[in-house]
Homo-oligomer: A and B are copies of this chain.
Amino acid sequence: MANPVASKILAFDVFGTVVDWHGSIAREVDAMGLGVAGSAFALAWRAGYQPAMQKVRSGELGWTRIDELHRMILDELLVRFGISGLDEAGRQHLNRVWHRLEPWPDSVEGIRRLKARYIVCTLSNGNIGLLTDMAKRAGLPWDCILSAEVFRAYKPDPAAYLGVASTFDVRPDEVMLVAAHHDDLAAARGCGLLTAYIERPLEFGAVHPKDVSPRPENTMHCSSIAALAEALGC
List the interface of chain A (C-beta within 8 A of B): 67, 119, 121, 127-129, 131-133, 135-136, 143-146, 149-150, 167-169
Contacts and interface: CB of A to CB of B under 8 A. Distances in A.
Contacts of A167: 127-129, 149
How many copies altogether? Answer: 2
Given A127-B167, A132-B168, A150-B150, 19 more contacts: A67-B169, A119-B132, A119-B133, A119-B136, A128-B144, A128-B146, A128-B167, A129-B168, A129-B169, A131-B144, A132-B143, A132-B144, A135-B143, A135-B144, A136-B143, A144-B145, A145-B145, A149-B150, A149-B167
24 contacts: A67-B169, A119-B132, A119-B133, A119-B136, A121-B132, A127-B167, A128-B144, A128-B146, A128-B150, A129-B167, A129-B168, A129-B169, A131-B144, A132-B143, A132-B144, A132-B168, A135-B143, A135-B144, A136-B143, A144-B145, A145-B145, A149-B150, A149-B167, A150-B150
Top 4 A-B residue pairs of the complex, sorted by shortest distance between their CB atoms: A132-B144, A129-B168, A128-B167, A144-B145
A136 B142 CA distance: 10
A135 B120 CA distance: 12
Contacts of A119: 132-133, 136
A145 to B, nearest CB: 5
Nearest to A65: B169
Contacts of A132: 119, 121, 143-144, 168
Nearest to A129: B168
Contacts of A149: 150, 167
A127 B166 CA distance: 11
Nearest to A141: B141
A159 to B, nearest CB: 14
Contacts of A168: 129, 132
Nearest to A168: B129
Nearest to A121: B132
A161 to B, nearest CB: 16
A139 B128 CA distance: 21
